[in-house]
């Protein structure tokens, strides 16, 4: 079930490097794409960055609306994540054409894609040089949400949950890894 995540913990939703869905809405049109290139940028206020190619319709909607959502899809959503990264929303309403649904984010109105395990609602911080030179967009996170089956008390709990709920990590050409188990180790001392 989707629960709010305190903003001072929200970078933890992306720290482990999952592939994300980027979604946006403007004037009644909405779209979603996949992005392997995103990362947190700051804790307070929380900021994130994501690469949005100039060809993408999602970028057009982000520029027009000033908002976007980064969401973390699951292993069960691999086919959908692959597909939304391969077709353009200029030509087709992906939400209608694909088995995808979403509801407006409470903070921004941008779409929260159903079935994901985390969502960060972001306000675009305009940085024209970065956007033109690097396709790099920066946003301040204004609300964050996570599925409490796998994220509770500020931490991911993948180990005890169904494997279909693990985050996806794209390599290339539709090949994804799922996140694995927690690594146990003995911390190094001060010596």
As given in the structure block, the two tokens for residue 121 are 């609602």
* CB-based contact 157:181 (threshold 8 Å): no
Q: What is the dihedral of CA 101, 103, 104, 107, to 10 degrees?
A: -120
Please state the closest distance from residue 19 (CB atom) to a second copy, in A: 8
The yes or no reply on residue 98 touching a second copy (CB under 8 A) is yes
Pairing relation of β-strands 38-42 and 29-35? unpaired
3-state secondary structure of 152: strand
Please state the closest distance from residue 32 (CB atom) to a second copy, in A: 14
Q: Which is nearer to a second copy, 57 or 156 (CB)?
A: 156
The yes or no reply on residue 175 touching a second copy (CB under 8 A) is yes
Question: How many Cβ atoms sit within 10 Å of the Cβ of residue 63?
Answer: 16
Candidates 22, 36, 118, 146; binder of a second copy (CB under 8 A) is 36
Candidates 2, 47, 66, 142; binder of a second copy (CB under 8 A) is 47
Question: How many Cβ atoms sit within 10 Å of the Cβ of residue 68?
Answer: 28
Q: Which is nearer to a second copy, 105 or 167 (CB)?
A: 167
Q: Footprint of a second copy on this chain (CB under 8 A)?
A: 12, 15-19, 36-42, 47, 49, 51, 75, 78-80, 82-83, 98-99, 129-130, 134-136, 138, 154-156, 158, 166, 168-172, 174-183, 185-188
């Amino acid at each position: 079930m989707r629960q709010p995540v305190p903003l001072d913990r929200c970078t933890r939703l992306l720290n482990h490097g999952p592939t994300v869905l980027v979604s946006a809405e403007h004037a009644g049109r909405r779209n979603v794409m996949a992005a392997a290139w995103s990362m947190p940028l700051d804790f307070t206020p929380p900021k994130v960055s994501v690469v949005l190619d100039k060809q993408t319709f999602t970028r057009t909607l982000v520029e027009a609306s000033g908002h976007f959502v980064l969401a973390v899809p699951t292993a069960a959503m691999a086919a959908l994540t692959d597909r939304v990264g391969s077709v353009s929303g200029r030509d087709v309403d992906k939400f209608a054409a694909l088995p995808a649904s979403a509801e407006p984010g409470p903070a921004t109105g941008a779409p929260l894609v159903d079935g994901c395990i985390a969502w960060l609602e972001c306000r675009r911080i305009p940085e024209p040089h970065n956007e033109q030179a690097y396709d790099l967009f920066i946003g301040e996170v204004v609300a964050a949400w996570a599925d409490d089956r796998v994220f509770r008390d500020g931490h991911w709990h993948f180990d005890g949950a169904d494997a279909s709920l693990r985050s996806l990590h794209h390599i290339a050409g539709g090949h994804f890894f799922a996140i694995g188990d927690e690594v146990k180790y003995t911390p190094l001392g001060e010596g």
